[in-house]
Amino acid sequence: MRQGIAIVAFTDRGETLAKTLGAALGGSVSRAGSGDVSFRAWTREMFSAREALIFVGATGIAVRAVAPHLKSKAEDPAVVVVDETGQFVIPLVSGHLGGANALARRIAALLDATPVITTATDLNRVFAVDLWAKRQGMTVLQPERIKRVSAKRLAGARVDISCPWPIAGEAPEGVTLGQGSDVIVDVRPCAGEALQLVPHALVLGVGCRRGTTAEQIETVFRRFCGARGILPQAIRATASIDRKQDEAGLLAFCEKHGWPVRFFTAEALMAAAGDFSASAFVLETVGADNVCERSAVLCAGGALLEKKYAAEGVTLALALTPPQLDWSC
């Protein structure tokens, strides 16, 4: 999981500016060509490790440096260029989903510089679906479809969005809540050509036999998602019983996905309200008649969405925390 900002400079003057930005933004500062790591190696490492890269220098240098590493707007970090005199700030990559436009504006405010924003939806002040998805904490499932939605708004056509949960506030100009002919918000895969946005609204409850490996849990998890029609991108956290706090396979599985895991006592699990699949054997073994369903509900603070799925000594269930969406973008 990417974290933090990395800043690189190429000249003495640029390094002074880079240090100013590092102090203000909390980023690490490097000088190209110094130390034991080459600029090419620095770019490769930082591109995969950091949320944002700031190049203090010429735009061409930055373009050539990041070009071999570009994948997609949904995966690439923000890349921003600042000239060494601090006059212009240029977002190069991931303007919306990666936050490069917002970072460029922030840097420009710090330096009293000019942000050079070229994104069409920003310039024309129309609804940007990818920016909205980012602000609402949703994953864009098919980033290649963003341009189709943006093109409709730029052409003056309305965009139709389907969402099973309420969206607070007034919809932006040119946006209609309807059947989702253009955009669908859901935790389950949807057919058709609409762009799908996935809110991080689910908690995965997990039970497993002692010594179960991360690979075994992953295999069952993939089957579970396929059988129940769930998008893994919708999961925001995991939960289990406190007896599993030292279960290496479970912890490794959660770490791989970047999900925090919360553990509950047997007493807390049994106090959970709801209709759960009870097992006398599990009750006798761990003190609670169900681990996966009860822990998911407790952690989510919402209703059970998918009941227990059991295979190869692993039990899984899902609970839903209805996403709190609004129209801010």
Give residue-wise pLDDT tens across range 233-273: 999 999 999 999 999 999 999 999 999 999 999 999 999 99
| pLDDT reading at 36 higher than 90 | no
Q: Quick one: average pLDDT of 93-100?
A: 93
Distance in angstroms (rounded) separating the CA atoms of residues 57 and 11: 8
pLDDT above 90: residue 180: no
The CA radius of gyration of the chain, in Å to the nearest whole number, is 23
Q: Chain-wide mean pLDDT for the chain?
A: 95
pLDDT greater at residue 212 or residue 72: 212
Burial class (CB within 10 angstroms; exposed 0-12, middle 13-18, buried 19+) of 212: buried
- pLDDT number for residue 37: 61
Q: Which amino acid is at 311?
A: A
Collapsing DSSP to helix, strand or coil, 244 comes out as: helix
- pLDDT level of residue 316 (50, 70, 90 thresholds): very high
Percent of the chain whose pLDDT exceeds 70: 99
Judge whether 87 and 114 are in contact, CB under 8 Å.
yes
pLDDT of residue 194: 97
Tell me, what's the pLDDT at 239? Answer: 98
Structure confidence at residue 34 (pLDDT): 67
The residues, ordered by sequence, that sit 6+ positions from 289 with a Cβ below 8 Å of its Cβ are 270, 276, 278, 279, 280, 282, 283
Name the 3-class secondary structure at 171. Answer: coil
pLDDT, position 38: 87
For 68-93, the pLDDT digits (tens) are 999 988 899 999 999 999 999 999 99
Greater confidence, 321 or 180?
Answer: 321
Q: pTM to 2 decimals?
A: 0.85
Tokens representing 132 are 């909205």
Distance from C-alpha of 201 to C-alpha of 186, rounded to nearest angstrom: 10
